[in-house]
Amino acid sequence: MNHPLYQFTFCPRCGSAHFQENNEKSKKCADCGFTYYYNSSAASVAVIENSKGEILVARRAKDPAKGTYDLPGGFIDVGETAENAVKREIMEETNLDVISLKYLFSIPNIYVYSGFEVHTVDLFFKCNVDDFSNLKAQDDVSDLKFIALDKLNPDDFGLLSIRKGVELLIQNKY
């Protein structure tokens, strides 16, 4: 397995090519002494149920995993809470307002974007929505639909962390 910073060859402070592995999660510049620690990016994931207990599932409109199922969500912006991020992402992707939410669990993931491996920790939230009349696929979602929990197939989900999260939901672990 590659070091998580293998694609970083130059020091971000001084530009030196002497930017070398320091330990399993950092690199250090031999010229200026700068040490960079690679930490996970955070993402939020929404588990939304309707009154029938069906789960809202999105179809990805873009790569990675274009055309596969997903749960609404996305990266948490700098300075944003995970709770606000999941509400924002739901609005951006589904046009729905979250009235309340509860943290469920987290799963580490590697999200490959433009050939770059982004290590993430995906935070899953159960989100309550009381009005689905404005439901509309938008942003990076091509389609939305509700599927009964017992009809969900984890293999239909293209992102590993979402697949694992769906497995936990099916097993009634949360």
Q: What is the DSSP code string of 66-119?
A: TTSEE-SEEEPPTT--HHHHHHHHHHHHH-----EEEEEEEEEEEEEETTEEEE
Specify whether 29 is located in the same domain as 46. Answer: no
Whether the predicted model's global pTM rises above the 0.85 cut: yes
46 plus 77 within the same structural domain: yes
Average pLDDT along the chain: 95
On whether both 29 and 96 belong to a single domain, the answer is no
Judge contact between 86 and 45, C-beta under 8 A. yes
Clarify whether residues 32 and 48 are in a common domain. Answer: no
Q: Do 48 and 131 have their domain in common? A: yes
Of the listed ranges 3-7, 38-42, 89-93, 131-135, the least confidently predicted one is 3-7
Q: Are residues 47 and 123 in the same domain?
A: yes
Q: Are residues 46 and 34 in the same domain?
A: no
- Please tell me the total count of domains within the chain: 2
Domain match, 69 and 149 both: yes
Average pLDDT over residues 157-161: 95
Question: Is 90 exceeded by the pLDDT of residue 1?
Answer: no
Q: What is the pLDDT of residue 174?
A: 67
| Mean pLDDT along residues 65-76 | 97
Q: Are strands 41-48 and 116-128 parallel, antiparallel or unpaired?
A: parallel
Quote the pLDDT of residue 99: 97
Range of the domain at 13: 1-38
